[in-house]
Every structure is written in C-alpha cells, then in structure tokens.
Amino acid sequence: MPAPRKYPLELRERAVRKYRTAEPKPVICRVAEELGVHDEALRNWIRQAEADAGERNDMLTTKEKDELAQLRREVRELRRANEVLRTASAFFRGPARPDPAQVTALVDAHPHLGGEPVLRELSIPSSTYYRWWR
C-alpha cells in the first residue's frame, strides 16, 4: 500500500493551475514558497500535468502509471499461482483428487505460498481444508 500523500490533491491541482496560467511564467520556487510546498514537489506536479496533457513524451501519464502498477500486481499474482501449481504438481503425482493428508502436508510444508492461494489453485474450498486439518 502506498504511503499517504503529504499534500492534498486540491492543493496540487491549484498549484499547477496557478503556475500554468501565470503570465509571464513565474519561477517555480516563488510559487512553491507562496503555497507552502517544496519546490521539487511542485516541479514534479507540473511535469506530471504536462505528461498527462500530452505535452511531454519522456514520462508516463498518470493513467499509464496506474495501468503499469495494476499489471505488475497481476504478474506477481500469476507468478505466485504458477509457483503454487508447480509445487502442487510435484507433490501430487498420482490420483486426480489429492488425499486430504497430502493437501495439509503441502500447505504446512510451504508456508511461504500461503494456504488460501494453494487451495484456490487446487480448487479445494477452504472450509474443506480446515475440516481435514482438524
């Protein structure tokens, strides 16, 4: 989970709008000082607003950054699922429905995988697992 933002979104938008609408263009440090924000923070906000408006090609837009973060989360989850399936396939070389003792042994032997993801990938309801586990 990302850290909370130091400056509210309204302040960020107002600061960028103030800088962009001013004529002649003010010095970023002066605008930042007037608003009580760090000048590098304002500079980054302005650069991001320019990227979002299509005025810069050297940065990702906010939408692209959000999509990239979502795709990275998805890749991380898929890699974890693959690891679960690889481990489970090596563990269950045999009948189609694994023996309850084997399932509990798999979950206990690989705590880094987590019980819920293992059960989800093996299509075993968690209630069934916990009934076996008792």
- Do 124 and 91 share a structural domain? yes
Give yes or no for residue 41 having a pLDDT over 90.
Answer: yes
Mean pLDDT score, 62-89: 91
User: Within a domain: residue 42?
Assistant: yes
Question: Could you report the per-residue pLDDT of 52-75, keeping only the tens digit for each?
Answer: 999 999 999 999 999 999 999 999
Q: Give me the pLDDT at residue 133, please.
A: 64
The Cα 40–Cα 38 span in angstroms is 6
User: Within a domain: residue 93?
Assistant: yes
Q: Give me the pLDDT at residue 84, please.
A: 82
- Do 83 and 121 share a structural domain? yes
Average pLDDT, the chain: 85
- Do 75 and 43 share a structural domain? no
Give yes or no for residue 134 having a pLDDT over 70.
Answer: no
- Do 74 and 55 share a structural domain? no
- Do 78 and 32 share a structural domain? no
User: Within a domain: residue 65?
Assistant: no
Q: How many domains, the chain?
A: 2
Which structural domain range is residue 54 located in?
9-59
- Do 114 and 75 share a structural domain? yes
The Cα 15–Cα 80 span in angstroms is 42
Q: How many CA atoms lie within 13 A of 80 on its CB side?
A: 17
pLDDT band at 46 (very low <50, low <70, confident <90, very high): very high
Give yes or no for residue 94 having a pLDDT over 70.
Answer: no
Kindly state the greatest CA–CA separation across the chain: 77
User: Within a domain: residue 2?
Assistant: no
User: Within a domain: residue 64?
Assistant: no
Q: Are 84 and 119 in contact (CB under 8 A)?
A: no
Q: Give me the pLDDT at residue 91, please.
A: 66
- Exposed/middle/buried for residue 132 (C-beta within 10 Å: 0-12, 13-18, 19+): middle
The percentage of residues in the chain with a pLDDT greater than 90, rounded to a whole number, is 46
User: Within a domain: residue 3?
Assistant: no
Q: Return the structure tokens found at 57.
A: 């090609």
CATH of the domain at 39: 1.10.10.10
- Do 94 and 55 share a structural domain? no
| Nearest-10 crossing angle of helices 9-21, 39-52 | 80
Q: Give me the pLDDT at residue 83, please.
A: 85
**Which residue, chain included where needed, has tokens 């798999």?**
106
More confident residue, 109 or 37: 37
- Do 35 and 89 share a structural domain? no
Give yes or no for residue 111 having a pLDDT over 90.
Answer: no
CA dist list (Å): 28 to 19, 23, 62, 94, 98: 7, 13, 22, 68, 65
User: Within a domain: residue 124?
Assistant: yes
